[in-house]
Chain A
Amino acid sequence: MSCNSGTCESGCYREEYSGDDVRHDRPLVTGNCQESNGVSSRGGDSNSPGLCIKCKVNETIVSTHPAIAAGGGDCIRFCADCFRSNLFGKFRFAVTSNAMISPSDNVLVAFSGGPGSRVALQFVHEMQHKSQKNFDASRDRSLPVFGVGVAYIDESIISPIPSNDFDSGIDEMKLIVSSLAPPSKQFFVIPTESIYSPDCAAGRDQLTKLASAVSDVTGKEDLVEHLRMLSLQKIATENGYTKIVLGTCTSRIACHVLEATVKGQGFSLSADIQYVDARWEIPVVLPLRDCLSEELNTLCNLDRLKLLLHDGSFFYCQDSLRTIDVLQQPRSGINGLIASFVKLLQQENPSRESTIVRTAGKLTPFCFNRIPEVGDDNGHLASQRRQKKYNLKPNESLPPESFCIICNSPLKKTGSATFNDIDNGETRAAAACSSCQYQILPKDPSSLEYFYSLLPRSMSARARDGNISHELLRDQIKDYLLSDSNDGT
């Protein structure tokens, strides 16, 4: 029905829709300018070109670091220092307004070596460092300093990395973590297979079998991601961490929005893209949710260049936001297609990623998309009050009845949970979302039992025991429940 020419002369849709649509013949003005970066763009005209519009003193990045100011945007407006503080400002705002980190927390930062988690780690450290200084300087020592740990999940059993690269990558990461002190931080390098058992060989074997049982490329990649979260949860629970920090940025979320859409996961999408995801035992927070990958890349490049320019030799310095490229895996299958698609769209319009995330941000989140309130800690009620409150209707604020056993996404009550063909009385057969049923679970029923046996206990337990909120609920009302023998069934 619709037309399909490649060239656009009419531009009919471009100007007409969302406020952040930007004409592509004015590349200097990007969507960023309209976002809350605390800088008004009106001062642009009265500035001399090349001077930072915030401090009006230093030269803009495009002048001082022409090699990295490829994308325009903030590089044209800010100097390196103001750019950095702008980014940190977004991080800090996300943390405080969503009550992500409280003084009594132990925060585990998931570190992949990529720019997102590198910046997340850096900013969390800086926040902790400042907190420590305040603590040392204060007389009554009332506010404790939150703890920080770092975790890297080694998925090489599924996606192999040349062992030289792997070893040097891990060494670099260790150096980075040790340089981010004081306060010092534990660094965990945990292989995925350890979610099975402490016995590495048995775990490796089971994991390999599980991975090879998934024929769909995208399904396999997604399964690895779900296992990654389980691994992080396990490390956090076993080592006393109370929050998990991910370096997920706007760009990554934009991709996830489209990924979930094309996989039929529209219902659960809003659960995955908020600042806070507390459906897990250890809540997961996304403090870089408002930062674009381009900004994070620029920040890493900025500091790296500063390092090189300094005296030409290579030395480790606290400012070095080096990323570990050898450990990065490109996405494949549908996820890879979407990554290229979003990149293309972003090139065509630099505010596209933000628009996608903003649109998806208008979807109604779930009740677990905020930090659970802790009533007994009086000193921190202020931060509780500051937390974003979602206006959920009564039926929307009820916890979902069930979650997918593979990806933990909330299941819509009507029918998406039903299995097409299994009818052997197993209650757990029902609890997978249609996307996981299609791309992860085996097609024929006879392989299904075997597949379930390969799942780590933390996954299959979801099915057996039902979801957590039901348990909690039951706990609360058990005194009022009649025992089974009384109701005659």
Chain B
Amino acid sequence: MASEVVDATAPKPRGGRFCTVCNERRAALKRPKTLEQICKECFYAVFEDEIHRVIVDNHLFKPGERIAIGASGGKDSTVLAYVLSELNIRHGYGLDLFLLSIDEGITGYRDDSLETVKRNEIQYGLPLKVVSYKELYGWTMDEIVKLIGLKNNCTFCGVFRRQALDRGAALLKVDKLVTGHNADDIAETVLLNILRGDIARLSRCTSITTGEDGPIPRCKPFKYTYEKEILRSWALNLLFTYAYFKRLDYFSTECIYSPNAYRGFAREFIKDLERIRPRAILDIIKSGEDFRISTSTKMPEQGNCERCGYISSQKWCKACVLLEGLNRGLPKLGIGRTRGLNNERNKDMKETNGTKALQSKQFGTLDF
């Protein structure tokens, strides 16, 4: 990963490599998406302009809307926060922007990245709200992992985060949530859904906006943005800040609890694919958008959780089921399909693939 940054910073003394866009300045890097030589200024310009086009062409926002930016402190959400606040001013979107961060309570991981978000709050002048698992659910991920071990911990975190984001968004009284999911993420998800047989998710996972029929719609302005370009943008930005060397650690940090092997397969494959043909990432997304999927694919009926009122297709929302399990020392409650389910309370959970409600369909399909 460090070599990515070196690529951008290495001076190009061998003469004559000029930016193909402005033809004035020296090229500083090769654009990952198009492989054209480009200088820093033009790269920023074209990067930001493409995002602006995506926002406008897809009618993502309306003037006067309050927008929460899901901010993890990682490179995607940091760049997203920066770019959105820039474009908001430059093009007069008229948006009220907020940063929304989720504290899962993972020592040594989340507490570090939260520092970055707090810095973003100051740097970009965007009010920050932090919602923690502890205050919402009474449990931190550290405590959960201590109880259930390293199996299925991602299940808990994913379910809790989804609700946490919605609750945080509700507390901020925002109209929409934006997340930093990029083209690589979406391409991976398309592949994963094909590999795992999830045709229903496959039909939704390329939508730039999801959850319009729920309380808080979510959109992904980076849908067509290559991860490598976000990386370059972020890295270039850092070079000129005093905190450069300290911050470099963050983007190579992954959640300490989450070896998600399956996405790893897809990720590796996409990296290899990108090397042969960079545009393939966007081609995957295009395929995802073009798949002929019958619109009569069954959607779950939308009701409300009896326990907490959150949107749910079952009697209890998934978070409540999982919490019940935690509080009663039954770590397998709500996990998998037939194992360890509580019959008295949730007979219906047994029949459903419990994880269908895991990433409650009405709220889109991707993890934060």
A is bound by B: yes
B197, B260, B337: residue with the most chain A Cβ atoms closer than 10 Å: B197
**A260 touching B287 in the complex, CB below 8 Å, given contacts A7-B261, A355-B196:** yes
Contact A6 B261 (CB under 8 A): yes
**A1 touching B290 in the complex, CB below 8 Å, given contacts A10-B153, A334-B277, A334-B280:** no
Write out, one digit per residue, whether chain B residues 280-300 have a CB within 8 A of any chain A CB (1) or not (0): 101110111111111000000
Write out, one digit per residue, whether chain A residues 196-218 have a CB within 8 A of any chain B CB (1) or not (0): 00000000000000000000001
B150, B185, B190, B287: residue with the most chain A Cβ atoms closer than 10 Å: B287
Contact A17 B196 (CB under 8 A): yes
Task: For A412, list chain B residues within 8 Å (CB).
Answer: 290
Which of A48-56, A68-76, A109-117, A265-273 lies at the binding interface? A265-273
Q: Chain A: which residue is nearest B281 at the CB level?
A: A262
A5 adjacent to chain B (CB < 8 Å): yes
**A345 touching B265 in the complex, CB below 8 Å, given contacts A15-B336, A334-B280, A364-B293:** yes
Contact B264 A257 (CB under 8 A): no
Contact of A4 among B191, B196, B254, B273 (CB under 8 A): B254
From DSSP, what is the main secondary structure of chain A's interface residues?
loop
Contact A1 B185 (CB under 8 A): yes
Q: Chain B: which residue is nearest A266 at the CB level?
A: B287
Spell out A's residues near B (CB within 8 Å): 1-21, 218, 257-258, 260-267, 269-270, 333-334, 337, 341, 344-345, 348, 352, 355-356, 358-360, 362-365, 393, 396, 412, 434-435, 438
Task: For B257, list chain A residues within 8 Å (CB).
Answer: 10
Task: For A20, list chain B residues within 8 Å (CB).
Answer: 197
Contact of B260 among A12, A267, A344, A345 (CB under 8 A): A12
Contact A10 B154 (CB under 8 A): yes
Complex Cα gap A344–B336 (Å): 25
B202 adjacent to chain A (CB < 8 Å): yes
Complex Cα gap A196–B280 (Å): 33
**A3 touching B283 in the complex, CB below 8 Å, given contacts A9-B150, A10-B152:** no
Q: Chain A: which residue is nearest B194 at the CB level?
A: A359
B76, B188, B258: residue with the most chain A Cβ atoms closer than 10 Å: B258
B303 adjacent to chain A (CB < 8 Å): no
Contact B199 A359 (CB under 8 A): yes
**A10 touching B258 in the complex, CB below 8 Å, given contacts A262-B283, A333-B276:** yes
Task: For A264, list chain B residues within 8 Å (CB).
Answer: 282-284, 286-287, 290
Q: Can you list 19 A-B contacts with CB-CB less than 8 angstroms, sorted by A residue number?
A: A1-B185, A1-B368, A3-B260, A5-B254, A5-B261, A10-B152, A10-B260, A11-B151, A12-B155, A14-B261, A14-B262, A16-B155, A17-B353, A18-B196, A262-B280, A265-B287, A356-B197, A359-B198, A393-B294
Task: For B250, list chain A residues within 8 Å (CB).
Answer: none
List 10 A-B pairs, minimum CB-CB distance, nearest first: A266-B287, A8-B261, A18-B197, A264-B283, A5-B259, A267-B290, A364-B292, A266-B290, A12-B154, A16-B355
Count A-B pairs with CB separation below 8 Å.
Answer: 181
Give chain B nearest CB distance to A93 CB in angstroms. Answer: 22
B195 adjacent to chain A (CB < 8 Å): yes
Task: For B294, list chain A residues within 8 Å (CB).
Answer: 364, 393
Complex Cα gap A187–B74 (Å): 63
Complex Cα gap A260–B280 (Å): 11
Taking CB atoms and an 8 Å cut-off, the chain B residues in 44-88 that contact chain A are: 74, 76
Contact B353 A355 (CB under 8 A): no
Contact A1 B264 (CB under 8 A): no
B263 adjacent to chain A (CB < 8 Å): yes
Complex Cα gap A246–B262 (Å): 33
Contact B195 A356 (CB under 8 A): yes
Contact B188 A2 (CB under 8 A): yes
B204 adjacent to chain A (CB < 8 Å): no
Contact A2 B267 (CB under 8 A): yes
Complex Cα gap A12–B263 (Å): 11
B279 adjacent to chain A (CB < 8 Å): yes
Task: For A270, list chain B residues within 8 Å (CB).
Answer: 291-292
**A263 touching B283 in the complex, CB below 8 Å, given contacts A1-B180, A12-B152, A12-B155:** yes
Complex Cα gap A296–B368 (Å): 43
Task: For B280, list chain A residues within 8 Å (CB).
Answer: 262-263, 334
Give chain B nearest CB distance to A288 CB in angstroms. Answer: 21
**A266 touching B289 in the complex, CB below 8 Å, given contacts A261-B194, A334-B276, A358-B197:** yes
* 6 further A-B pairs in the complex, CB-CB below 8 A; given A11-B152, A13-B262: A2-B260, A19-B197, A262-B287, A266-B288, A355-B196, A356-B195
Write out, one digit per residue, whether chain B residues 177-215 have a CB within 8 A of any chain A CB (1) or not (0): 000111001001011011111110010000000000000
Task: For B367, list chain A residues within 8 Å (CB).
Answer: 1-2
Task: For B289, list chain A residues within 8 Å (CB).
Answer: 266
Give chain A nearest CB distance to B291 CB in angstroms. Answer: 5
Q: Chain A: which residue is nearest B275 at the CB level?
A: A337
Give chain A nearest CB distance to B90 CB in angstroms. Answer: 26
B10 adjacent to chain A (CB < 8 Å): no
Contact of B153 among A12, A263, A265 (CB under 8 A): A12
B291, B336, B354: residue with the most chain A Cβ atoms closer than 10 Å: B291
